[in-house]
Chains A and B, each alone.
Chain A
Amino acid sequence: MEMIVKLIPVFPLFGFLIIGLTNKKMPKQVVNIIACGSVFLSFVAGTIAFFSLLGMPSNSRFITGFWFDWIIAGSFSSSVSFMFDPLAAVMVLVVSGVSFIIHVYSIGYMAHDGGYWRYFSFLNLFVFSMLLLVLADNVLLLFVGWEGVGLCSYLLIGFWFHKKSASDAGKKAFIVNRIGDFGFLLGIMLLFWTLGSTNIKEISHLAPEMLVAGGGLVTAITLLFLVGAVGKSAQIPLYVWLPDAMEGPTPVSALIHAATMVTAGVYMIARLSALYVLAPTSMAIVAIVGGFTALYAATIGLAQNDIKRVLAYSTISQIGYMFLACGVGAFSAGIFHLTTHAFFKALLFMGAGSVIHALSGEQDMRYMGGLKNRLPFTYKAFLIATLSISGIPLLAGFFSKDEILWKAYSSGHGHPLLWILGLITAILTAFYMFRLLYLTFHGKSNVTAEAEKHLHESPPVMLIPLYILAFLSIFGGYIGLPHALGGGAWFENFLMPVIAESAHVIETGSHHAPSLEYILMLASVVAVLLGIVVAYNFYIKNPEKPKQLAQRFAGCYRLIFNKYYIDEVYDYLIVKPLYILSLIFWKIFDVRVIDGFVNRLAKFFGSMSERFRILQTGFVRNYALVFFIGVIILVGYLCYIFR
Chain B
Amino acid sequence: MMPPINWPVIYPELAICITAFIVLIVDLFLPGRHKWVLSLISIFGVLVALQIVFMNFGLKGDTKAFFGMVVSDATGLYFKTIFCIGTLLAIFVSITYQRREFPEVGEFYTLMLLSTFGMMIMASALDLITIFLGLEMMSIPLYVLAGIYRGRYRSREAALKYFLLGAFASGFLLYGIALIYGAFGTTNITRIVELIADGKPYSPFFVGVGSVLVLIGLAFKAGVVPFHMWIPDVYEGAPAPVTAFMSAGPKAAAIVAILRIFVITTPVIDLTWVFWVLAVVTMTWGNILAINQNNIKRMLAYSSIAHVGYLLVAITVGGEEGVSSAAFYLLVYTIMNIGAFAIVVLFAEREEFYENISDYAGFGSRFPFAAITMTIFMASLGGIPGTAGFVGKFMIFSGAINHGFYWLAVIGVLNSLVSIYYYLRVVVAMYMRQPQTRLVDIAISPSLMIAIIITLLLVIQIGIFPDNWLSLAKQAASLAF
Contacts and interface: CB of A to CB of B under 8 A. Distances in A.
A and B interact physically: yes
Q: Tell me the interface secondary structure of chain A in the complex.
A: helix
Given A608-B288, A610-B292, A638 B233 contact: no
B15 interface: no
Contacts of B220: 627
Interface stretch (A163-171, A187-195, A411-419, A616-624): A616-624
A635 interface: yes
A428 B405 CA distance: 71
B418 A605 contact: yes
A612 B289 contact: yes
Interface string A435-455: 000000000000000000000
A627 B288 contact: no
Contact of A635 (B212, B269, B288, B293): B212
Contacts of B160: 620
A624 to B, nearest CB: 6
Given A627-B227, A629-B226, A642-B205, A612 B288 contact: yes
B370 to A, nearest CB: 18
Interface in B265-323: 269, 274, 285, 288-293
Contacts of B169: 627
Given A606-B291, A606-B292, A609-B291, A616 B232 contact: yes
A21 interface: no
Given A631-B216, A634-B274, A613 B229 contact: no
Interface string A532-568: 0000000000000000000000000000000000000
Contact of A624 (B168, B233, B289, B291): B168
A641 interface: yes
Contacts of A620: 160-161, 164-165
A3 interface: no
B213 interface: yes
Contacts of A623: 161, 165, 229-230
Contacts of A616: 229, 232-233, 289
Most buried by A among B165, B220, B291, B418: B291
A627 B208 contact: no
A627 B205 contact: no
A613 B227 contact: no
A602 interface: yes
A637 interface: yes
A631 B274 CA distance: 12
Given A620-B161, A624-B165, A613 B209 contact: no
A636 to B, nearest CB: 10
Given A602-B421, A638-B205, A627 B168 contact: yes
Nearest to A630: B226
A273 B227 CA distance: 68
B165 A634 contact: no
Nearest to B168: A624
B202 interface: no
B232 A635 contact: no
Interface string B217-230: 00010000111011
Interface string B149-161: 0000000000011
Interface in B167-206: 168-169, 172, 204-205
Contacts of A606: 291-292
A623 B274 CA distance: 21
Given A605-B418, A642-B204, A642-B205, A630 B227 contact: yes
Nearest to B203: A642
B205 A634 contact: no
B165 A627 contact: yes
Nearest to A610: B292
B177 to A, nearest CB: 15
Contacts of A602: 421
A618 B161 CA distance: 9
A207 B279 CA distance: 53
A630 B291 contact: no
A605 B232 contact: no
A626 B418 contact: no
B292 A613 contact: yes
A485 to B, nearest CB: 55
B216 A637 contact: no
A641 B207 CA distance: 13
A257 B466 CA distance: 40
A76 to B, nearest CB: 16
A641 B208 contact: yes
Contacts of A635: 209, 212-213
Interface in A585-613: 602, 605-606, 608-610, 612-613
Given A613-B292, A629-B226, A641 B209 contact: no
A605 B208 contact: no
Contacts of B269: 638, 641
Contacts of B421: 602, 605
B139 to A, nearest CB: 16
Contacts of A634: 212, 215-216, 274
Contact of A613 (B204, B233, B274, B289): B289
A637 B215 CA distance: 14
A22 to B, nearest CB: 15
B284 to A, nearest CB: 10
Contacts of B288: 605, 608-609, 612
Given A620-B164, A642-B205, A627 B213 contact: no
Given A637-B274, A639-B209, 8 more contacts: A618-B233, A623-B229, A623-B230, A627-B168, A634-B215, A634-B216, A635-B209, A638-B269
Interface of B: 160-161, 164-165, 168-169, 172, 204-205, 208-209, 212-213, 215-216, 220, 225-227, 229-230, 232-233, 269, 274, 285, 288-293, 418, 421
11 contacts: A609-B290, A613-B289, A613-B292, A620-B165, A629-B226, A630-B226, A631-B213, A634-B216, A635-B213, A638-B205, A641-B269
The 10 closest A-B pairs by CB, nearest first: A623-B229, A630-B226, A609-B292, A609-B291, A642-B205, A638-B208, A609-B288, A626-B226, A634-B212, A638-B209
